[in-house]
A and B are shown apart, each in its own frame.
Chain A
Amino acid sequence: MSQWLPIRELAAKVQAGELKASDLVEQALRTIEEKKEYDAIIATTAERARERAASIDAAVANGQPVGRLAGVPFIAKDNFLVFGAETTAASNILKGFNAPYQSTAIERLEAEGAICVAKANLDAFAHGSSTENSDFMTTKNPRDKTRVPGGSSGGSAASVVLEMAPFALGTDTGGSIRLPASFVGCVGYKPTYGLVSRYGVVAMASSTDVIGPLTRTVEDASAVLDVMSGQDQFDGTTIPRDEAGYIDLSADLKGKKIGIIKEYMSDDLDAEIKAKIQAGIGKLKDAGAEITELSLPSLPLALAVYYIVCPAEVSSNLSRYDGQRYPSSAEDAKDLDESYMLTRGRGFGAEAKRRIMIGTYVLSSGYYDAYYNKAQTVRTKIINEFNEAFGQVDFLVGPTAPMTAFKIGENSEDPLQMYLTDIMTVAVNMAGVPAISIPVGDINGLPVGLQLIAQQRQDRALLGAARAAEKVLA
């Protein structure tokens, strides 16, 4: 039994004055302190959280409205601009940066009474699958401290399983919400591209970056999405939210057509993972789903597309960190050019540098057509295959990852091997479709995630199916 009630029940009790926001914040901060050894948290926003909790409690006492998520503590990945602590994206180059404004997602959650209590660890700039690329520390998997929690939202995922707060926020550019959810055993939701504003979130690859919740249950994920989603004047790529919203879902699998992605269930897949996923799919079938098998032959190319498109966009997005406007620059530089070189050379870690250089290479004249243009054209092919598949089925299913959590250090010397952990999550990002990872059981004590995927803008339907799936998979 978790120490946290479901999010909407928790908020209802705060609204009714049965629970105090201040007590919930203290409970969260205490748990963060007690579970320090996992290195999930970079900093707390304790002072601001306590002030916000006190004002919510005062409003309740005065009979004023306090919002749909009143008093619910949460943890934000440290690439969200948040007041009350530095925003570093777990990078040395942003150390000392105090955000002058907050991200839209945070503003919307706060407007409904939710309270950010801490900033979670990540691979620096969200570049990675294990949090080992954090410039500060590696987060430990709550199930086994010698293993990684997955990444890049590894601190967020671990914090949820460690019960530091009822929910955490992550970002997913190539799998960074779903992969850690799979590795630690929680729910990770990646919405349709543009459903949640990216304003005020440190940009990685802007054409695939999305924001989403990590939670214990699908119901909690939908409560959070319901508050964060929708168009934002500060992010031109946002899309309207579903008129029906994302809560009070019809959770039924009866008659739903679910296609098994053949390419993700090949003979190359680890036999134990394959058996777990097949058993899970069997339960979906027992719950009334119609199961078929589909082939999306270009999916195995998605990772190669990603490792051109992502570094290209990273090299562009990270060019803004030149040390001149914020937060600090190399003191010993003799001129501006050297100031750029030294600030960036010292401030970026190895993975950021790798991606910046690959991006610079694939975008350079003479190589642009061979790499970037080609990748974006294969992307079209992947999108077409998803569209064809969703002409036949409501949802696609497969594993979230081809492995369970690996040992700390196991893949850190080989960047390409690390990239391969995302092989089953990236295609979703290239097509902008929504997907969710739900726990489907353990192998040798390590969690396995089942991934459900839907057509763009079918987030409500996907969450409903996931809710039903969660009930039979538990």
Chain B
Amino acid sequence: MADLTRDDVLKLARLARLTVTDEEADRYREELSAILQYVELLQQADLTGLEPTSQVTGLKNVTRDDQVVDYGTSPDDLLRLAPASEGRHIKVKRMIA
């Protein structure tokens, strides 16, 4: 399971929206396979009766009052960062060719 093929790498790159060159794909195939082989170490752990942990300090469902909070940043401040905008909208390339 840990040995990736070149096609696997190209598929992962596509899923993650990354272009990779042919040369890169070969290198990543080796490197990613080595990393996945290393993490196989976990197969030896006895995990009987244990549940996964994703939050380490035990916080649960942190909520706040449903009130508008001023973050001190205006929509205009954020719009100014966009490479292209029109009126109050961020402009992107066409989605359907």
Q: Do A and B assemble together?
A: yes
B93 in contact with A333 (CB, 8 Å): yes
B38 in contact with A335 (CB, 8 Å): no
State the CA gap A322–B72 with chains docked (Å). 25
Min Cβ gap A320→B in Å is 12
The chain A residue sitting closest to B34, CB to CB, is A416
The chain A residue sitting closest to B12, CB to CB, is A357
Q: Chain B residues near A377 (CB, 8 Å)? A: 45, 47, 50-53
For the complex, is A358 an interface residue (Cβ under 8 Å from B)? yes
What's the tally of chain A residues with a CB closer than 8 Å to chain B?
A: 74
The chain B residue sitting closest to A347, CB to CB, is B18
Residues of chain A from 359 to 407 with CB closer than 8 A to chain B in the complex: 360-361, 364, 367, 370-371, 373-381, 383-384
Q: A233-B69, A357-B16 are in contact. Are A373 and B83 (CB under 8 A)?
A: no
Residues of chain B from 12 to 36 with CB closer than 8 A to chain A in the complex: 12-13, 15-20, 24, 28, 31-32, 34-36
Q: Chain B residues near A346 (CB, 8 Å)? A: 19
A-B contact count (CB 8 A): 178
For the complex, is A341 an interface residue (Cβ under 8 Å from B)? yes
Min Cβ gap B27→A in Å is 8
Main secondary structure of the interface of A (DSSP, over half): helix
Q: A336-B92, A336-B94, A377-B51 are in contact. Are A325 and B15 (CB under 8 A)?
A: no
For the complex, is B68 an interface residue (Cβ under 8 Å from A)? no
The chain B residue sitting closest to A338, CB to CB, is B93
For the complex, is A304 an interface residue (Cβ under 8 Å from B)? yes
State the CA gap A304–B39 with chains docked (Å). 5
Min Cβ gap B5→A in Å is 12
A288-330 CB mask vs B (1 if < 8 Å, else 0) is 0000000000101100110110000001000100111111110
Q: A234-B71, A354-B28, A377-B52 are in contact. Are A360 and B57 (CB under 8 A)?
A: no
Q: Chain A residues near B20 (CB, 8 Å)? A: 345, 353
| One of A237, A334, A357, A378 near B47 (C-beta < 8 A) | A378
For the complex, is B66 an interface residue (Cβ under 8 Å from A)? no
The chain B residue sitting closest to A340, CB to CB, is B17
Q: Chain B residues near A430 (CB, 8 Å)? A: 56
Min Cβ gap B54→A in Å is 6
Q: Chain A residues near B77 (CB, 8 Å)? A: 100-101
A236 in contact with B81 (CB, 8 Å): no
What's the tally of chain B residues with a CB closer than 8 Å to chain A?
A: 56
B17 in contact with A194 (CB, 8 Å): no
For the complex, is A92 an interface residue (Cβ under 8 Å from B)? no
The chain B residue sitting closest to A357, CB to CB, is B12
A327 in contact with B81 (CB, 8 Å): yes
Q: A298-B45, A357-B13 are in contact. Are A380 and B50 (CB under 8 A)?
A: yes
State the CA gap A130–B17 with chains docked (Å). 27
A69-92 CB mask vs B (1 if < 8 Å, else 0) is 000000000000000000000000
| One of A100, A207, A339 near B81 (C-beta < 8 A) | A100
B53 in contact with A379 (CB, 8 Å): yes
Q: Chain B residues near A192 (CB, 8 Å)? A: 57
| One of A323, A344, A345, A383 near B56 (C-beta < 8 A) | A383
Considering residues B13, B41, B52, B80, which has the most beta carbons from chain A within 10 angstroms of its beta carbon? B52
Q: A335-B94, A354-B28, A361-B32 are in contact. Are A101 and B57 (CB under 8 A)?
A: no
State the CA gap A275–B62 with chains docked (Å). 46
Min Cβ gap A229→B in Å is 14
B58-90 CB mask vs A (1 if < 8 Å, else 0) is 010010100001011100011011111000001
Q: Chain B residues near A432 (CB, 8 Å)? A: 56-57
Q: Chain B residues near A328 (CB, 8 Å)? A: 83
Min Cβ gap A143→B in Å is 30
Residues of chain A from 229 to 261 with CB closer than 8 A to chain B in the complex: 233-234, 236-237, 239
Known: A207-B55, A304-B38. 8 other contacts (CB 8 A): A100-B77, A233-B64, A300-B41, A323-B83, A336-B93, A338-B93, A376-B52, A416-B34
Residues of B within 8 A of A (CB): 1, 4, 8-9, 12-13, 15-20, 24, 28, 31-32, 34-36, 38-43, 45, 47, 50-57, 59, 62, 64, 69, 71-73, 77-78, 80-84, 90, 92-97
> 27 A-B Cβ contacts within 8 A?
A98-B81, A100-B80, A101-B71, A194-B57, A207-B54, A237-B57, A304-B41, A307-B38, A322-B17, A324-B92, A333-B93, A335-B96, A337-B17, A341-B18, A344-B18, A344-B19, A353-B20, A357-B9, A357-B32, A360-B12, A360-B15, A364-B15, A374-B42, A377-B51, A381-B45, A381-B47, A456-B57
